[in-house]
Chain A
Amino acid sequence: MSLIEIRGLSKNYGHVRALDYLDLNVDGGRIVGLAGPNGSGKTTLLRILGAFDTAYSGDVSIDGLKPGRETRAITSYLPEKTALSDWMTADQAIAVYKDFFADFKEDRAREMLEFFKLEGSQKLRQMSKGMQEKVQIMLVMSRDARIYLLDEPISGVDPASRKSILRGIIGQAGEDSLVLVSTHLISDIEPVLDEIIFLDFGRVILHEQADKMRAERGQSLNEAFEEIYA
């Protein structure tokens, strides 16, 4: 049984079909890229997996369970927008996570804070967008989760910060954990990916091992992305 199993998943926003009978199996212990143009269904899929949207049709299973309270305990979700109030400091955010998530490792959070060169006493509103993103990544990756769902973790930040964020992500995920990262910045994330999933119009149009795909197509994932969505 795969860690994530999805059968016939559909989701509509009014008359707009965001996911269209999507089928997908993803195993643990790897970093998987979820790529596609805007509106292809990446965020919707991650929100359903993160149990932030339960109004869908089809079957979704995370470690054998329907997304909900039980799966929240093993899933760490990074939203596209920051979920924290801007008056909070990084230290206060750490305290909140420590309070609510049994798998939260404060030592790891402190290490990441240092790695990202962030001040614990600094308020989020005083931070740049890249710094805020790093705080969110620090919190999400400091949990010992089975699944990390990261929605566009490097969009809107400068290239230097992207590399630092990616190093932070790779360094913290456990060996058996699944990291599912949505992005349209394939070239930045390509070196760390084990698998790639291409979505379009709410369907999986390609799901392949990254190395295999490079070998078979003779092109990088970014080149394949550009060719497929041209």
Chain B
Amino acid sequence: MQHHALAARRAIADCGIAKSAIDGYVSTSGGGPGAGDDAVSMAEYLGVNHRYIDGTMVGGSSFEFHVQHAAAAIREGLCDTVLVTYGSDQLTRMGRVLGTGGFQRDAQPVAGAMQMATPYGLPLVGAYALAAHRHMHEFGTTSKQLAEIAVGIREFAGLNPDARYGDPITVEDVLNSRMIADPLHKLDCCVITDGGGALVMTTEEIARDLRHVPVYVLGAAGTQTHWNIHQMPDFTEMGATVCGPEAMGQAGVTPADIDTAQLYDSFTITVLLMLEGLGFCGKGEGGSYVQEGHLRRGGSMPTNTDGGGLSSNHPGMRGIFLLIEAVRQLRGHGGEAQVPDAEVALACGSGGWLSAIGTVVLGKDRPS
């Protein structure tokens, strides 16, 4: 709850809006079971008597879906100003068990569709490893190519003083790091941290009087192909193939118009599948695309300029940080990691097990 509050305080101060002007609230139980930070509890804690509320929970991409919903609510006049918050003290509460320890720590019966997987001992990393192996099998993608993703994002993390890990790494470092679940090494996996973030969304009219030149939502779309990994229809393809083109279509842009991408890097394979799904490269070509250096600083598609989940921070549901970094880049507040002349940024979140994908296109210029 305190992480939500800290982030809300900073976001409100940053844009200079009166807290009393907030009449919409969007959040999700970011802290996980037992954290008590569901949307209604948080609305009370933060003192927001909302006219519009949304507690959509689709995993880490929830915030991309929230932007889609809040933009529609504001357009429809359900409210004028929406506060979106996220907070998680997952590292403090659970330690590093999330990735390799699992949610199920004892012999409790497992209900729902997870009973088809959890009793076999499926760790979170293992679920993504299933996708990585299949992609390697079908397209010849290599561990070296996946490692390149982690190396490029670490380079950006080195420019972010708040990043969890900032020391440069090499492809060999990734390949030599401990194998967690074949073919994913430790450095193919995101970090585990605490953290929080918040966004303020409002009408153009209200935004005009605030502290910053506004960033516009040009497009937002989401889709779900499955929830549990064992129901993924094609382990080499994620829903970004659907919601990516839809969001870019709304914005009237193509991948060539995107100046920087903030992609959900829970694991290196997540980024690879997303690049293909979004159409930044052809299906099966993700490996050679990343090897060409497009994602790097100075590349054609600088990606995860804050150091991403692989190196900067990952409190469990990282989607909000994709949006925050996209906004920072479009405002020109990217510091040393600033992408020159960034005018259009894309954020793509993945929730669940490559399951619920949300794409948001943000722009510096008013949508025409």
A, B from the same assembly: no
**A interface residues (Cβ-Cβ under 8 A, vs B):** none
